[in-house]
Every structure is written in C-alpha cells, then in structure tokens.
Structure 1
C-alpha cells in the first residue's frame, strides 16, 4: 500500500497548488479546496485498493467502466458525482493512473489557474 500511495504522491506533486489532507480516513488531494483524487485501501472493509478520480461527465464515467471493467468501477459515495475508481491491484498501468490524476486535477482546478498555465 505504501508504495502505491508514494507513486500517487509523486504524480500529484508535479501539479500546481495541490495539498493533501485526510478525508474520511483516506489520503485525499485537493486543488484550491476542490477534491480531485482520493486513495482508498480497504475502504469500509471492501477489500479493494483504488484511486478515485473525477471524470468529465456521467457519459465518460460509463464509457470508462464499460471499456475496462477490470480497471474502472463506481466508487462508493463519489459515483453519483461522476467519479471512477481505478483498481490498483495486479498489473497497474501507472501511465494511465498518472494521466487520470492529471485529468481529474484539470477538472477540479479553477479556471484562472488553468488559464495561467495550469500544468
């Protein structure tokens, strides 16, 4: 678990104006007080290790889950807001994880930060 969280932290630290806080007992990442990623390990005893990230819409959420159900799933509490959970067990595609982190950051970041150059 620590190695996975360390890799996520490495991907997050290259993004501007990010801070990490514990939310609901889980390491959670914010840009300007807007949550964009949450690492979950056995969240409420579900036995899964995932990273929850934003998607652009419920259509994108559905498309990701349909295209790669072994990688993406609906996260508890966040699914209704269009988020997906990325499975972090087995053979993890870290390039994909890093890309989804960056995309989620872009969806959460304020327009002024994006217009100033973002990432």
Structure 2
C-alpha cells in the first residue's frame, strides 16, 4: 500500500514537476499541466492515461485497483486505489501520466537522466 508521501516523492522526482492544489487536494503538474491528483478520499489517485480505451482496459483488467466515476466520463483519467498498488507500480503509473502531459523538451530531459 502506498501513501500520500509516496505519491508526492515519486511525482516530485520527475523533472519540472510542482505541487499545487487542485480542487482542494494535492495536484502534481509538469510545466503547469496537471498529470496526477490525490482525490478527496485521501487514498485514491487520479491519473491521466493515453485515452479512454486504455482507461477502460485498466479498469477491466483489475477493477480492485482501477476505477472511475461519472465525473471522469469522457476524460482520459483513471482512479487508482492506494491500497492496491506498491511503490514500484505507483512509480510506473505516475511516470507514464507525467510522460503523457510533459512537453517534448522536458521529455528529452528525462531520457538523458
């Protein structure tokens, strides 16, 4: 199970990432583009994914881990339960969401690390 501190540590380790409140909860942005947000529940992370198809695929493959709500209908965002992921999987999910939202120059910076 991951914690809010784990999410923060992973997200802020990525280049040009900042934390700023989004809907009253911690949101993580790359060059001012939101890529992840801790939801009001405190143990759920909202993440950008490539598209609606990927979102539905994740939910179908593991509904205990991934889910959505009507608020996110039509948006390429999936919800992730903290209790269902470990730090390695969290790192993979957050990094992918970051990649989807980061400008090309910033992506190149990550690749050179």
TM over 0.5: yes
Is 1:88 the equivalent of 2:82?
A: yes
Pairwise CA RMSD of aligned residues? 1.9
List runs of 5+ in structure 1 lacking aligned partners.
43-47
> TM-score with structure 1 length normalisation?
0.83
State the shift of 1:76 in Å: 5.4
User: What is the CA-CA distance between 1:75 and the residue it aligns to?
Assistant: 4.5
- Alignment partner of 1:34 is 2:2: no
Instruction: Verify: 1:23 aligned to 2:22, yes or no.
Output: yes
2 CA distance for matches of 1:75 and 1:95? 25
Alpha-carbon shift at residue 5 of structure 1 (Å): 1.0
What is the aligned residue count?
111
Q: Which has the higher contact order (CA 8 A, sep 6+)?
A: 2
Q: Deviations over 1:22-66 (max 9, x none)?
A: 111110000011000001142xxxxx7211111111111110000
Structure 1: which 4+ aligned runs deviate by more than 2 Å? 75-80, 91-94, 115-119
Q: Verify the 8 A CA contact 1:52 1:75 in the aligned structure 2.
A: no
* Equivalent of residue 105 in structure 1, options 95, 98, 101: 98
TM-score by length of 2: 0.87
